[in-house]
């Protein structure tokens, strides 16, 4: 079964932009539009990686990451934090403290996203292009 990637962003254009690339890499993408929905979907679907925007309605990404990391059933799922707000670029430590594995500032290209996802997937779960490598750097 293909690894599941949960894309969490209130901008549905982001979902439509990256879904074809994620699926071409051999993974299955599911979506959520805010942090609260992400927690529900992650608990039900158990994705292998979550890509989480920060600025969203109802529950922001940092709060959602904190909730995911408190829940024993989702705490092991790696989270990539994404944002277009330059104010957050300087506050990467807050994302690490919340439990995020990686940070990607928007805009980023599909190749950057696929590389980040692949770096967090177990080597047996990478797509056909071999994008995931446990030896790749996981730091911000």
Bond before 3 cis per omega within 30 degrees: no
The Cα diameter of the chain in Å comes to 39
| Predicted pLDDT at 120 | 96
Contact 47, 5 (CB under 8 A): yes
What's the rounded Cα separation, in Å, for the pair 137 and 73? 26
Q: How far is residue 12 from each of residues 8, 33, 117, measured CA to CA in Å? A: 9, 8, 19
Q: Which two tokens stand for residue 15?
A: 């979902």
Q: Which two tokens stand for residue 42?
A: 């992650």
| Predicted pLDDT at 31 | 98
97-138 pLDDT, tens digit per residue, is 888 999 999 999 999 999 999 999 976 455 444 444 333 333
64-89 pLDDT, tens digit per residue, is 999 999 999 999 999 999 988 776 66
**The whole model's pTM is what?**
0.86
2-36 pLDDT, tens digit per residue, is 999 999 999 999 999 999 999 999 999 999 999 99
């Amino acid at each position: 079964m293909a690894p599941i990637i949960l894309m969490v962003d209130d901008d549905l254009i982001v979902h439509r932009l990256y879904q074809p690339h994620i699926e071409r890499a051999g993974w299955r993408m599911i979506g959520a539009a805010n942090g609260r929905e992400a927690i529900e979907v992650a608990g039900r679907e158990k994705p292998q990686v979550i890509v989480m925007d920060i600025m969203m309605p109802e529950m922001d990404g940092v709060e959602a990451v904190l909730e995911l990391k408190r829940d024993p059933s989702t705490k092991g799922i790696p989270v990539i934090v994404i944002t277009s707000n330059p104010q957050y670029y300087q506050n990467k430590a807050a994302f690490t403290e919340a439990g995020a594995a990686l940070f990607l500032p928007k805009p980023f290209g599909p190749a950057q996203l696929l590389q980040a996802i692949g770096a967090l997937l177990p080597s047996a779960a990478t797509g056909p292009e071999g994008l995931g490598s446990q030896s790749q750097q996981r730091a911000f």
